[in-house]
Amino acid sequence: MKKFLQVLLLAAVSQGFAQDQAAMEKAWAEYMAPGKIHALLASETGTWDEEMTMWMMPGAAPEKYTMTCEISMIMGGRYQQGIHRGTMMGMPFEGISTVGYNNASKKFESTWIDNMGTGFMFMRGNYDVKTHQITFNGDMMDPMTKTAKKFREVYTMIDNDTRKMEMYDTDASGKEYKSMEILMKRRK
């Protein structure tokens, strides 16, 4: 790490951003170090069974699917990765989630990609200790309008072996509606 920090300091000096070396090393060390929140993410490591309910539009009949998710920590315990697999709408489905906690911004950050699209979903959120929920806000590309639209996700840690993810989409008028719920149960 010392070599990495020295390279950063040299780059900062060469660009006119001379800083105190000790302060820079301390800031980067704090930024890089997994902490208690990262341990919370690591506690979800394992195999999860997922019961998914989707609503394609407000008032639509629910569609139900079952999937599995393999959660692991990557990059030295800094990020959580979830590999989600199943069948959706008669097709094989695979999605990859990443969740991290940014020590500098003090926010959770998440991405999502899957084989039913070609774009990324980006989210940022805060954890509520009382409700055991992370509320994420983000945007994603709407393939119909070719514009970004807002969405919200609420991730609830019900107990050690149960999680619930609720996604809220926006309709054409901008009104929010619940578009998805996933109940996750850890395999024993």
Which DSSP string do the residues of 18-76 spell out, in sequence order? ---HHHHHHHHHHHH---HHHHHHHTT-EEEEEEEEE-SSTTPPPEEEEEEEEEEEETT
Q: For position 173, what pLDDT does the model report?
A: 85
Q: For position 14, what pLDDT does the model report?
A: 62
pLDDT averaged over every residue in the chain: 91
Residues 44-71 have a mean pLDDT of 96
CATH annotation of 37-186: 2.40.128.20
Give the predicted TM-score (pTM) of the model: 0.88
Residue with the larger pLDDT of the pair 92 and 4: 92
Residues 162-180 have a mean pLDDT of 93
Phi, psi of 184 (to 5 degrees): -110, 130
Round to whole Å and give the CA distance between 167 and 182.
Answer: 9
Q: For position 5, what pLDDT does the model report?
A: 59
Domain coordinates of the chain in residue numbers?
A: 2-32, 37-186
User: Could you give the C-alpha distances from 74 to 70, 86, 99, 152, in angstroms and in order?
Assistant: 12, 22, 10, 25
172 band by pLDDT with thresholds 50, 70 and 90: confident
Residues 20-47 have a mean pLDDT of 91
Residue 163 CB coordination number (10 Å):
21
Query: 176-186, pLDDT tens digit by residue?
Result: 999 999 999 99
Q: How do strand 121-128 and strand 176-186 relate by DSSP bridges?
A: unpaired
